[in-house]
């Protein structure tokens, strides 16, 4: 069974409870085969494709949807008034943030959590500061002056208006357990996220991902049939504050650690490692455990080609155009684009 069909086998009826249709039967039958048996592949535009358009903006998401991607990868925080907003940074980032007068922030700004939605949307995040190392890293990004930090609701509405009704959303909760005063706590973050998903009616198209696995434990309890993606890096695996108290050394491998962490919910499980940390052996082990593998963030054509040939289930990239080219070379089906806005 293709990976997208596997994800889409869950839904929530209006006003009802999260329920599986035949997901339980799939899991009992052995979901490793459903993940790896076909050659379904998930093309994810990282932050909407920040190599091409301003990251985590409506302009970027519309551009990616028009180009043709399976999934929009994005990050959320909570504003001071409790609104889920799309932002990778826990503080205003001077590399791509200008004030109401058009001036670049001189230094790192206030925490997202400390500002209301109205205050946040006074800033322009439509271009990179070319004088910064970060700006030079993404020199091909096309600016869109006037872009604001969007709400998650605005993103869902934009995709609906654009006709991108098949595109999926891979939503990362930006919570740092080592800086508990800088971001929202896991429970209010998760409850606000789930409420927005329900209001928009997009549950069948959402994956929740996080480096802070407390988030995913809550999703497993509150919305157990939503797919959950366990993000890992060498740094987070060394600190059990990120892995919901589980010590990586106790499990012998990261796939087994992810399997143990995901035991509190029946929904599909994904492992998203830093791509340079992935080995063919770990990929095979994850698949044997019924875990899909989607590495982040893969931007070089040679790395994309190598990982596709290994058999990963998808890739998260800043350059979805390049990944489309690699997929075409290998005969993988390409996602159709939605009309541009």
Question: What does each of the 341 residues of the chain score in pLDDT, given as a tens digit?
Answer: 334 444 443 333 333 333 332 233 233 233 333 333 346 999 999 999 999 999 999 999 999 999 999 999 999 999 999 999 999 999 999 999 999 999 999 999 999 999 999 999 999 999 999 999 999 999 999 999 999 999 999 999 999 999 999 999 999 999 999 999 999 999 999 999 999 999 999 999 999 999 999 999 999 999 999 999 999 999 999 999 999 999 999 999 999 999 999 997 788 999 999 999 999 999 999 999 999 999 999 999 999 999 999 999 999 999 999 999 999 999 999 999 998 76
Task: Estimate the share of the chain in helix, then strand, then coil, as percent rounded to the nearest 5.
Answer: 40, 15, 45
The C-alpha atoms of residue 35 and residue 25 are separated, in whole angstroms, by 14
Q: Which residues contact 324 (CB under 8 A, 6 or more apart)?
A: 43, 67, 68, 334
Q: Dig out the tokens for 292 from the structure.
A: 């899909």
pTM of the model: 0.90
């Amino acid at each position: 069974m293709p990976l997208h069909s596997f994800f889409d086998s869950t839904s929530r009826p209006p006003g009802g409870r999260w329920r599986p249709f035949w997901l339980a039967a799939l899991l009992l039958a052995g979901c490793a085969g459903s993940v790896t048996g076909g050659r379904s592949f998930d093309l994810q535009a990282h932050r909407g494709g920040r190599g091409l358009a301003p990251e985590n903006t409506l302009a970027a998401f519309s551009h990616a949807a028009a180009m043709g991607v399976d999934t929009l990868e994005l990050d959320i925080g909570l504003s001071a008034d409790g609104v889920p907003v799309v932002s990778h940074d826990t503080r205003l980032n001077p590399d791509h943030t200008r004030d109401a007068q058009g001036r670049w922030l001189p230094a790192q700004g206030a925490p997202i959590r400390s500002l209301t939605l109205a205050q946040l949307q006074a800033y322009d995040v439509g271009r990179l500061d070319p004088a910064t190392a970060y700006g030079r890293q993404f020199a091909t990004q096309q600016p869109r002056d006037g872009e604001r930090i969007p709400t998650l609701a605005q993103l869902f509405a934009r995709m609906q208006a654009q006709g991108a009704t098949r595109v999926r959303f891979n939503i990362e909760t930006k919570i740092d357990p080592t800086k508990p005063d800088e971001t929202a706590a896991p429970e209010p973050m998760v409850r606000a996220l789930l409420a927005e998903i329900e209001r928009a009616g997009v549950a069948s198209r959402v994956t929740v991902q996080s480096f802070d696995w407390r988030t995913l434990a809550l999703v497993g309890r509150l919305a157990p049939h939503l797919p959950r993606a366990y993000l890992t890096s060498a740094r987070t695996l060394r600190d059990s504050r990120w892995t919901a108290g589980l010590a990586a050394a106790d499990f012998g491998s990261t796939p087994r650690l992810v399997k143990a962490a995901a035991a509190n919910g029946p929904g599909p499980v994904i492992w998203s490692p830093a791509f340079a940390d992935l080995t063919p052996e770990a990929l095979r082990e994850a698949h044997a455990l019924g875990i899909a593998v989607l590495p982040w963030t893969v931007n070089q054509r040679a790395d994309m080609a190598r990982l596709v040939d290994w058999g990963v289930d998808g890739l998260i990239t800043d350059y979805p155009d390049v990944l489309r080219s690699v997929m075409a070379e290998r005969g993988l089906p390409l996602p159709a684009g939605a009309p541009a806005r």
